[in-house]
């Protein structure tokens, strides 16, 4: 699939409502918005590593029984008692989990990896799919996310106003920080929704021949080449599983070298 945001000739979908210059300007905007959401999601996904490490550590530590208490008291003499405090560890886990899923919401949208239960959509033609995406973004995704963002922002503001801390004496302080991160994650999701709306609008109303990288749609000639944002693998049933796996691996490694 071509990722160039340009207009060229061809007998493809398009409504010709937009001029070539306007279409190219909107395509450039869509690509920049997607790059921003993509950057945020990729960096946020790194939180997965410390979250798993701390969770495994906490579970293993709680299985030690009395040893955990002895280690905690011993570590307090050198200022490291918190490392063995289960409440603190559990709050760290859900703080990381909240930051992780909030900041990758938009990432899932632009890469089309969000959960879909499509009974009808997948059997529709390209333009009908584009209309469905446009109307869905207009009346559901964007308004709903803005509504949740509004209440989350109030939630975070009130937390900042009282400098909220954990309800537990041994929990994490600065509760307002994670509430702010959750609000920022919703803002990124709104931005992602706008990019999907623009993508659908361009697919419907740009001049015929417009080509750019889609997010939640596939160009008619590329239909079936990917699934949930990932390139679909071609399985060769004429060879053994081992041979087909070796071929797929060689192809993937070759693409990475390029």
Q: Indicate whether this model's pTM tops 0.85.
A: no
The confidence score (pLDDT) of residue 8 equals 44
pLDDT at 219: 84
Helical (H) or strand (E) element with 33: helix 20-44
* Angle, alpha carbons 235-237-242 (nearest 5°): 75
Residues 6+ positions from 36 with CB-CB distance below 8 Å:
191
Collect all residues with Cβ–Cβ distance below 8 Å to 189 and sequence separation of at least 6.
Answer: 105, 106, 109, 145
Region of 112 please: left (phi>0), alpha (psi -120 to 50) or beta: left
Which positions of the chain have pLDDT values less than 70?
1-15, 65-76, 78-84, 224-239, 254-258
Cβ partners under 8 Å of residue 146, min gap 6: 190
Dihedral sign for Cα atoms in the order 153, 102, 31, 113: negative
- Which residues, other chains included, contact 253 with Cβ-Cβ below 8 Å and sequence gap of 6+? none
Query: CA 82 to CA 120: how far, in whole Å?
Result: 53
134 DSSP 8-state letter: H
Average pLDDT of the residues of the chain: 83
Q: So what's the pLDDT on residue 84? A: 67
Q: Where are the domains of the chain?
A: 6-223, 232-258
Distance (Å, rounded) from C-alpha 19 to C-alpha 206? 7
Q: How far apart are CA 138 and CA 44, in angstroms?
A: 27
């Amino acid at each position: 699939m071509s990722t160039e945001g340009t207009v060229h000739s061809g007998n493809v979908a398009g409504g010709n409502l937009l001029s070539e210059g306007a279409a190219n300007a909107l395509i450039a905007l869509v690509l920049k918005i997607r790059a921003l959401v993509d950057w945020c999601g990729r960096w946020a996904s790194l939180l997965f590593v410390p979250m798993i490490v701390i969770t495994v550590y906490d579970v293993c530590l709680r299985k030690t029984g009395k040893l955990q208490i002895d280690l905690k008291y011993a570590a307090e003499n050198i200022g490291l008692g918190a490392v063995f405090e289960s409440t603190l560890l559990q709050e760290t886990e859900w703080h990381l989990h909240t930051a992780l899923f909030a900041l990758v919401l938009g990432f899932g949208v632009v890469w089309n990896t969000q959960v879909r239960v499509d009974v009808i959509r997948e059997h529709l033609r390209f333009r009908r799919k584009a209309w469905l995406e446009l109307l869905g973004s207009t009346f559901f995704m964007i308004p709903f996310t803005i509504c949740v963002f509004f209440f989350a922002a109030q939630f975070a503001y009130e937390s900042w106003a009282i400098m909220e801390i954990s309800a537990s004496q041994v929990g994490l302080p600065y509760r307002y920080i994670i509430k702010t991160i959750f609000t920022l994650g919703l803002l990124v999701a709104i931005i992602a929704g706008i990019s999907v709306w623009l993508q659908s609008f361009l697919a419907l109303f740009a001049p015929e021949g417009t080509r750019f990288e889609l997010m939640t749609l596939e160009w008619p000639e590329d239909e079936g080449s990917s699934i949930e944002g990932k390139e679909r693998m071609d399985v060769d049933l004429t060879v053994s599983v081992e041979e087909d796996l070796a071929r797929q691996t060689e192809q993937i490694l070759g693409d990475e070298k390029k």
